Every structure is written in C-alpha cells, then in structure tokens.
Structure 1
C-alpha cells in the first residue's frame, strides 16, 4: 500500500496566549481553517506538529514566538503624522487601522501610542513576539 501525500489539514483551531486567554478561534465563525503543508506558509516547527494527524484527532501544542507568528520586528513600527489618517478617524491605543499593501492587499496595523500629532503604528502580526498554544481538532485530511 502506498502512503498518500498529505497536502492539507482542515481543522478547527483555538489559539491561546500564555495567560490561557483565547486570541483567536475558528469555532466562533464555524469555519475551520485549512492548513497547507509544504507550501512554506507554516513554520517547519508548526508543520512537524501536523505530521501523522488523522481526521477526528485532537492535538494541542505550544510554539515559541519565532515558530508561531514570528518575533516582533522593530522595523515594522512606524511613527506617522496625524495628517496621514482621515480627519474623522478615532485614533487611540489598540485601534486597528488598515493600509494599502502590494497588489491591492491590506496590511493591518495596531495603534500603539498617540502623542499629539504623532501616531505610533505597529505593522507586526498582532501575535508576533508571543508564545502561543494551538488546540487543533482535525475535521478533514486532504491528500494529493
């Protein structure tokens, strides 16, 4: 019998922070996530956790920041003038703003500080620099 090559897992996923709080969950939307294997979208450490999982499996694992959403990059923190934002936009710490990225994509940024007309925006992934725990519930295994 030849082993089929697993190309993706469809999973319900909870992402938990160090304090046990839930940062994100596919349960809320009812739409499971598709995790592609071998396309470089996941870190090697994340992919290693997926090996051997089958439909119906539940698997929990914790990854350090560099293997989860990456380390926080200081070059992705920008100080911008208030004039670069719409006049009616409410800017306060924690607000998520969107910027145009390459090819028409959107890049979310989090306002980290407002000091007069200087707005500090962090374009790192919101979970960058954090160790996180993934709770997976495998719905489907896609083979190719």
Structure 2
C-alpha cells in the first residue's frame, strides 16, 4: 500500500523511546508486538503526529521532541496529597508504585506514589515522562492496516 500517513490515519509501528541519558523508556521491539495508533484521537501528542505525517509503510525515522511537544511539562497542579486512610483497601503504598485512581467523573487515572510521610501520601498524576526530552526511533509497518478480515458470506 502506498498511502502516506495522513491526519486521520491509523498506523502500525515499531518504536523505541530513549531518554537523554540513552536509557530506553519503552520499546515495542523488546516484545515483538508493534503498536497501533490513530492520528487525531488525542492519544499521541501533536508534535509526534507532525513527525509521522507523510511517512509510508517501510519508512524509518529518528527524531527528538522537547518536553512541551512530547509528554508535556510537569504541572504542580497534578501532584495531590492523600490521607493514609484513603489507602486502607489498597494496602500500604510503596514509593515509585503506579496505582489507578478513580476521578470524580468515574474515569481512571494512573498516579505515581512519590512520598509516604506519616499520614500523608503524595501522588503525582503527571505523565512519568513529563519534563523530559524524548528521542524517538520509529518504523512504520503499515498505514491504515486491515484489522479484521471481512466476512466471506455476504449478509443478504
């Protein structure tokens, strides 16, 4: 297929994300399972989508995104303080653990336990990679892949 990635394309990619120190933050190549993304659905940052536009299946691209174009800049508003009583059902929180919290609207948000101090527990809801420059290495496997085989029997 010769279609290039457009603003509403689905793309099947292998990617590696590296931090400034050269360490790998995430890689689909490690488990051999590529990732499927749909541009325009807000799952990817605008900066990342801009880098994917125009690429074709088989293309490889390496680039870096500053924090504001990648996972954002950490916001102090996303650091919340909880009472130890809030964790009675979940058990003793460990620093560095990622836990799911239910928001007022019923959605779930991951938060990282940053500090346990007496009765106070500090939880950071910023993305774990917020504030970091990310180095991307992306290989486009397919553009608008067929996700399901169409029915062989027409329904009539």
Partner in structure 1 of residue 100 of structure 2: 98
* Structure 2 portions without partners, runs of 5+: 146-156
TM-score scaled to structure 2, two decimals? Answer: 0.79
Distance across 2 between alignment mates of 1:97 and 1:40: 23
- Highest relative contact order (Cα 8 Å, sep 6+), 1 or 2? 1
Distance across 2 between alignment mates of 1:65 and 1:46: 11
* Structure 1 portions without partners, runs of 5+: none
Q: What number of residue pairs does the alignment pair up?
A: 141
What SS class does the counterpart of residue 62 from structure 1 fall into? strand
Distance across 2 between alignment mates of 1:109 and 1:138: 31
Q: Which has the larger radius of gyration?
A: 2
Supply the RMSD in Å over aligned alpha carbons. Answer: 2.2
TM-score scaled to structure 1, two decimals? Answer: 0.85
Aligned with 2:31 (options 29, 32, 53): 29
Higher strand share: 1
Q: For residues 35 and 82 of structure 1, do their structure 2 counterparts lie closer, same or farther at Cα, with a shift above 3 Å needed?
A: same
Q: CA deviation at 1:24?
A: 1.1
Partner in structure 1 of residue 75 of structure 2: 73
Given that 2:12 and 2:142 are in contact with CA atoms closer than 8 Å, whether structure 1 keeps it comes out as yes
